[in-house]
Amino acid sequence: MRIISKAKGPLRGEITAEADKSISHRAVIFPALARGESVVRNFLLAADTMSSYSCMKQLGVQIIRDGSLLRVQGKGIEGLQEPVDVLNCGNSGTTMRLLTGLLSARPFFSVLSGDASLNNRPMKRIINPLSSMGAKISARRQGNFPPLAVNGRNLHGIDYALPVASAQVKSALLLAALTADGETSITEPHKSRDHTERMLEAMGARIKHEGLQIIVSPDANLTPQEFIVPGDISSAAFFMVAAALVPGSELIIKGVGINPTRSGIIDVLIQMGCNIKIENKQIISGEPVADLIISGSELKAVEISGDIIPRLIDELPVIAVAMAGASGTSVVHDAQELRVKETDRIKAITSELKKMGISAEATEDGFIIEGRSGTIKGAQVNSHGDHRIAMSLAVAALLAEGETSISNPQAVDISFPGFWQEMVRLSR
């Protein structure tokens, strides 16, 4: 249980964003596919990324770790070894989906499993296209849910149009395509995060882009790299919204990744009337990074849907909190993917915010929030074991009269283990 009280005053000062989770997963998986040593700096030390780290070790990859610095000794794709035990992906959809793509094309047997949440997340979205490439994957409940049993073999390229934008599905197919016979073409309906393409291209993968289409040619010679992981905009988002909502705040968040496929929250907060300055822009390891300066402002309602959704999908729970503190009725559409994240995030965030007196209505593909429709009051709320719900509720608690107690607060360890400490420090 964590108790959070209303913010006593403005949030001020400087923080460094927690390392990016999506890039950290990739930074421990991809170097294993090259021959030689890659160095990874600022690797995220959190439960999710440690799942990828442990699975790679189980696949026979030697990784030397000194704090957040990794030295990954790649032996080429052919160097991966059959794991002797089940690969435990924990809570991490990224670990499971990326590794399934990779292992479908390796000549050995592997089983991937996760916690109760992950073993209830749909996998047909990767199993169907991988099967068209020739993969043999078995799964529970009509072949949709983990554990997954993968009988790896030679695959062939396909031409595939994703029904929903998903970086995990795109990445699984890109990894399978690296050693397939022939080219693979992948087309998304909207652009999802592109870290996989950026990193594999830097390593020498043969990838071409044509609008929303990506074409991969196999058998490239992948070379080791130095990857410096930037700050995670998805973790910074909680403090961005907190600073936007608490009057008089001015918060500097250093070293945040502002890749355009991830930065939808900046656009939305600016549209809501928030003052955000973007300074010290630079490119680090092929990713745009900057310092963000966020000042508290009077926010107004916003409607979001369409192309922007994949650019802020993980931030929608905390955007719901921003909407609760904004004047007017805000609406989110086209975000049905939220229902198949670590929890059904549409249901989880609306039901918990309601307990705090916020007018929040779940819809099929999003939610409707009437901002400032009454007093936001402290309540007993539940994270549902979902890291992003826990942190979003903590931000809502800063606005609420009285105390809010959040159960299952340790869920934050999945992506942001230092969250509670940072929260206490900034709201003191």
Q: Is 139 near ligand S3P (CB under 6 A)? A: no
Catalytic annotation present for 314:
yes
Q: Is 381 near ligand S3P (CB under 6 A)? A: no
Taking phi over 0 as left and psi of -120 to 50 as alpha, with beta for the rest, 36 belongs to: left
Beta carbon nearer to ligand S3P, 274 or 312: 312
Q: Is 313 near ligand S3P (CB under 6 A)? A: yes
Cis bond upstream, residue 147 (ω within 30): yes
The owner of tokens 């593909």 is 365
Stretch near ligand S3P under the rule CB under 6 A, chosen from 140-148, 161-169, 241-249, 282-290: 161-169
Shortest Å distance, C-beta 240 to ligand S3P: 17
Structure-block tokens of residue 69:
């610095």
Shortest Å distance, C-beta 335 to ligand S3P: 11
Q: Is 168 near ligand S3P (CB under 6 A)? A: yes
Q: Is 314 near ligand S3P (CB under 6 A)? A: yes
CA angle 45, 48, 50 (to 5 degrees): 50
CB distance 350 to 389 below 8 Å: no
Backbone angles phi, psi at 165, to 5 degrees: -65, 125
Shortest Å distance, C-beta 193 to ligand S3P: 6
Q: Is 188 near ligand S3P (CB under 6 A)? A: no
CB distance 1 to 414 below 8 Å: no
How many Cβ atoms from other residues are within 10 Å of residue 142's Cβ?
A: 7
For 331-372, give the DSSP string: EE-S-GGGGGSSS-HHHHHHHHHHHTT-EEEEETTEEEEEET
Q: Is 249 near ligand S3P (CB under 6 A)? A: no
Q: Which of 22, 38, 91, 392 binds ligand S3P (CB under 6 A)?
A: 22
Q: Which of 28, 167, 175, 376 binds ligand S3P (CB under 6 A)?
A: 167
Q: Is 192 near ligand S3P (CB under 6 A)? A: yes
Q: Is 38 near ligand S3P (CB under 6 A)? A: no
Site for ligand S3P in 316-345 (CB under 6 A): 337
Spot the catalytic one: 20, 194, 232, 314: 314
Residue 14 to residues 77, 222, 364, Cα–Cα distance (Å):
42, 38, 39
Beta carbon nearer to ligand S3P, 18 or 314: 314
CB distance 177 to 197 below 8 Å: no
**Residues lying near ligand S3P in the complex (CB under 6 A):** 22, 25, 94, 166-169, 171, 192-193, 313-314, 337
